[in-house]
Amino acid sequence: MNIPSNIVTLVLGIALTLVSLWYGQNHGLMPIAASDEAEAIDGIFDVMMTIGTGLFLLVQGILIFCLVRFRRRKGDTQDGPPIEGNVPLEILWTAIPAVVVFLLSIYSFEVYNSMGGLDPHASHDVGLHAHHSNSMNQKNMLALDLSSKNLAYGLGLPSESQEPVNLKVKVNAMQYAWIFNYPQGAIVSGELHVPVGKTVELDMEASDVIHAFWLPEFRIKQDVIPGRVTELVFTANKVGQYPIVCAELCGAYHGGMKSVLYVQTPEDFQQWLKDNSVEESSGETQKISSVAASAESQFIVPHIKSLGLLPEPEQLDQLHSNH
């Protein structure tokens, strides 16, 4: 029986599409999705994975087919036929990726916009506040002015969103630690605690160089920059512990610049707030500083020790005042 080749091509095309669609949904490459924002990001990733799988199978399939079909036969000592390009084919394989990239750009722009990435932050005044990272010490780092108005960049609340921000946390990034400052209870912590199901806003600033705040399980990442506030708004939707990673090469111990995000039930979170609040007192600043200092070295020391360097806390202090 003679099967026409266009039917074979059609069947192969359908099979390739089905395999690509299946793999695009079942690649298993992403960690658990623990935020409301993750769904949109995973959606675009799955679409790109589907297209990528289809193109991979198509290109590799044609390659392997040609290797077999056009292999050199026994006794064939001739040169190949001199073929000089194929304009329709070149137009086709230029046009297809162009359309694919164009559609993906519209899709990703839409996702970015839906996450508040294009929000101009109308409530903030334009202008950067005076900020001298060189002269910055522990004390004024902690006395972040909560009322200072900055133009914030980053992922904010989408303008059509009805949800209010339930919790604001100031984030300070430094070589090589994350410091989280809770206005409620004046808590300064080396770990980030947030309640599940609540909208959280991080107002982030760096005190030395550019860092990047990355939550892989939340699918969000934002640069943290000296002298400029960047914002990240998200809603955690699964109780658990998730890594916080610095995703911008920020110095020698960049790889050790990690912390933990604890997503807690609202009750557990309130308890944590209560347990860690610092009472209003004259010694407040000192108390906060010591918490911050220990939180900081707690994250740095194990990494530095593992490198066999700077095991003494005094030297660690020097390391911080040097930059």
Query: Min. distance of Cβ 257 from Cu ion in angstroms?
Result: 4
174 binds Cu ion (CB under 5 A): no
Query: Min. distance of Cβ 116 from Cu ion in angstroms?
Result: 24
What's the rounded Cα separation, in Å, for the pair 266 and 252? 38
Query: Min. distance of Cβ 153 from Cu ion in angstroms?
Result: 18
In terms of CB distance, is 34 or 206 closer to Cu ion? 206
Q: What is the DSSP letter of 35?
A: B
Binding mask 187-216 for Cu ion (x = CB under 5 A): ------------------------x-----
Q: Residue 181 has which token pair?
A: 């400052």
What's the rounded Cα separation, in Å, for the pair 216 and 244? 8
- Residue 255 CA to its chain's centroid (Å): 16
Q: What is the DSSP letter of 196?
A: T
Query: Min. distance of Cβ 211 from Cu ion in angstroms?
Result: 3
Query: Min. distance of Cβ 115 from Cu ion in angstroms?
Result: 23
320 binds Cu ion (CB under 5 A): no
In terms of CB distance, is 211 or 219 closer to Cu ion? 211
Binding range to Cu ion, per CB under 5 A, among 10-18, 51-59, 81-89, 254-262: 254-262
246 binds Cu ion (CB under 5 A): yes
In terms of CB distance, is 24 or 226 closer to Cu ion? 226
CB count in 10 Å sphere of residue 202: 25
In terms of CB distance, is 34 or 246 closer to Cu ion? 246
How far CA 10 is from CA of 5, 13, 288, in Å, comes to 9, 5, 69
Q: How many CA atoms lie within 13 A of 156 on its CB side?
A: 17
Yes or no: say if 242 and 217 are a contact pair by the CB < 8 Å rule.
Answer: yes
Query: Min. distance of Cβ 193 from Cu ion in angstroms?
Result: 21
257 binds Cu ion (CB under 5 A): yes
How many amino acids of this chain bind Cu ion (CB under 5 A)?
4
- Cα–Cα nearest to 188, from 298, 45, 78, 29: 298
Contacts of residue 5, defined as CB under 8 A and 6 or more positions apart, other chains included, come to none
Q: What residues line the site for Cu ion (CB under 5 A)?
A: 211, 246, 250, 257
